[in-house]
Chains A and B, each alone.
Chain A
Amino acid sequence: MADNNKYIVSAAPHLHKKDDSVSRIMWTVNAVLAPVALMAVFVFDWVALGVMLVSVLSALLTEAVIQRSRGQRVTISDGSAFMTGMLLAFNMPAHVPLWLPAVGSFFAIAIAKQAFGGLGHNIFNPALAGRAFLMAAWPQRMTTFTKPFAVDAVTQATPLMLLKDGKAAGLADMGLGYMDLLIGFRGGALGEVCALALVLGGAYLLARRIISWQTPVSFIVTAGAFGWAFGSPKGFFQGDFLFQVLSGGLLLGAIYMATDYVTSPITKRGQLVFGVGCGLLTGVIRRWGGYPEGVCYAILIMNGAVPLIDRFSQPRRYGVTRREKDGGSARRAS
């Protein structure tokens, strides 16, 4: 083999097109997230901006300091830490003390990303790991959502919380319509409110081939179908598919977090499995779990299974069959 130095061995993300460097992709996604951020500020006022700023700054600072101390090149301009900060902020309620996103971002970057080796090596989605950490550490703070468009911070339960507590059987009981969910006139985390912005952003990313449809579509459809089948207190198959899809963090999670290259499967088949798994877990937690929303945990659990999914969805090597009785060149699974 003459040209060994042409074979570059590296971990995900593996990028082929010459002008689609990691930076470009990250910043494109960040740009797509901007309208979502704007809507968050529109719905929840300037506090939202504070949360997002602190989260992003903490992420950038943490990554810079750690890379410096490891003697590596500081790569905060590649946009990945910025994105982690934004996504974490999108998972938080609006009126939280600013140390909360700061600590969460620090955990997300330092532990979930850098301790595993930095970009491309982490197993779990850093933003979601940060959110899960904050949820476990300060559950009250993370589940106190405020009323949209209120002058002061007035707490209000999110639609999913109302459903879980049995206070409402469906949208009608909550005094909301699909339009409200779509545009953002209801409570929730910063990035959850405006479904429209999320969907439009997702469509753009799909068109630009930055994300592929397998994961988000299988995730959303499975979660919605599960909610339709099991989600209603009135009985089976009476749930509200659209409600399940538009509420909570499903769109944000399925489009922007489950599609993270590093923590999702490599093959298309694997991505479908991944999406279905996420959807099922989300459905189970939403329906029977203690928490009203399960997207974050569903994705994290499936992240853990990705190495195994990748292993078992390896494409077959050409000319080799699955098993050969005479012990010939059988495909060995290791």
Chain B
Amino acid sequence: MKRFWLEFAKGIIAENPIFFVVLGLCPALAVSTSMSNAIGMGIAATFVLVCSNVIIAMLRRMIPDKIRIPCFIVVIAAFVTIVEMVLKAYAPALDRSLGIYVPLIVVNCIILGRAEAFASKNPVLLSLADGLGMGLGFVLALLVIALFRETLGSGKLMGLSLSHQFEPAAIMVLAPGALLLMGLLLGGLRWIRSLRSS
């Protein structure tokens, strides 16, 4: 049981997929222009990650090694399709904001990466923990990025306008701003890490 929590916890900070392993960046930077988009994408990706981790863990002894990657892809793609349909039906506005990044969840390196590195080699319950942890880490990272981008770039938080004195820096909701933020966050986190270890 303790193992469950360990596997779960590592995905949140120590092995945070975005900030420390640096995977799955495409959606992270593209949709983090607002906190609501970030939450939407985060939940969608986590759902796919958890489900595919569980299924792959269940089937791990049955999948032949030579074709394992295409098999993983089929499983992941199936869940992505489910997510796509659910979004189109129940949250069309979110679906429109997320755009092509929803089907692109299927090539999200995090999901395929966890399938290959963990779910195919570990029992179902632990894979579930891993998926939940990584997913949560992903969502948190997305929220952090979106927090900066939405407040600095459009002067709003969750759609609510902040102070009127502040002139938002449009660049933050644009692509170069996201890249800038990512560079600063990665560098900053590494610097903090180095301070703590010395």
Which residues from chain A sit less than 8 Å from chain B, CB to CB? 111, 115, 133, 136-139, 141
Residue B176 CB within 8 A of the other chain: yes
Partner of A138, one of B167, B174, B177: B167
Closest B residue to A132 using CB positions:
B176
Closest B residue to A100 using CB positions:
B167
Residue B180 CB within 8 A of the other chain: yes
Partner of B177, one of A136, A139, A141: A136
Complex Cα gap A136–B178 (Å)? 12
The answer on a CB contact under 8 Å between A138 and B180 is no
The answer on a CB contact under 8 Å between A137 and B169 is yes
Across the interface, which residues of B come within 8 angstroms of A139, CB to CB? 170
- Point out which of A111, A115, A137 has the most chain B C-beta atoms below 10 A from its C-beta: A137
The answer on a CB contact under 8 Å between B180 and A137 is no
Give me the 3 closest cross-chain CB pairs, A-B, nearest first: A137-B169, A136-B171, A137-B171
The answer on a CB contact under 8 Å between B174 and A136 is yes
Partner of A136, one of B167, B170, B187: B170
Residue B172 CB within 8 A of the other chain: yes
Complex Cα gap A138–B174 (Å)? 12
Complex Cα gap A138–B169 (Å)? 6
Q: 12 A-B Cβ contacts within 8 A?
A: A115-B183, A133-B171, A136-B170, A136-B171, A136-B177, A137-B169, A137-B170, A137-B172, A138-B167, A138-B169, A139-B170, A141-B167
The answer on a CB contact under 8 Å between B170 and A111 is no
Across the interface, which residues of B come within 8 angstroms of A141, CB to CB? 167
Nearest CB of B to A103, in Å: 8
Nearest CB of A to B175, in Å: 10
Complex Cα gap A136–B170 (Å)? 6
Nearest CB of A to B188, in Å: 11
Complex Cα gap A115–B190 (Å)? 14
Nearest CB of B to A294, in Å: 17
Beyond the given A115-B187, A136-B170, A136-B176, could you list 6 further A-B residue pairs with CB under 8 A, ordered by the A residue number? A111-B180, A115-B183, A137-B171, A137-B172, A137-B177, A138-B167
Complex Cα gap A167–B171 (Å)? 29
Taking CB atoms and an 8 Å cut-off, the chain B residues in 55-111 that contact chain A are none
Taking CB atoms and an 8 Å cut-off, the chain B residues in 144-198 that contact chain A are 167, 169-172, 174, 176-177, 180, 183, 187
